[in-house]
Structure 1
Amino acid sequence: MPRRYSMDSRQGETVARRRRLLDAAIQVLGEVGADRLTMEAVAERADAATRTLYNHFSSRDELIA
């Protein structure tokens, strides 16, 4: 049986992933401050790949903004 594919469910997953990344960034910011925040630390906190973080935010400055 073919797998059903839904753009709505995929979009929901994308929104949830972005929210998880932002929550992780807020936590890291609170712990180390903006000057010491790294993309790697945020990705690790969110249990995501660094590349995934860059797919959502093109730079550290964009993430912080």
Structure 2
Amino acid sequence: PTTPKPKCPKNETYKICVSSSCGERRCGEPKPVGCTLDCASGCFCKYGYYRVRNGTCVRKSHCPRTGT
């Protein structure tokens, strides 16, 4: 029997074997500098969403502004 995919929080999706540094975008770091060759599985922000410091995934327009 196959094990069901874990339920992910809002705006996240379960991914299998993706680069931990490129599996999702982060606020303040919209484009990853480089992708690692590791294989991480888990809940990542859906396409079009960015990880905020508090751990949730939001649209880019809701990312906190950084710098001046």
**TM-score range with shorter-chain normalisation?**
under 0.3
Higher helix proportion (structure 1 or 2): 1
Higher strand proportion (structure 1 or 2): 2
TM-score (norm 2): 0.22
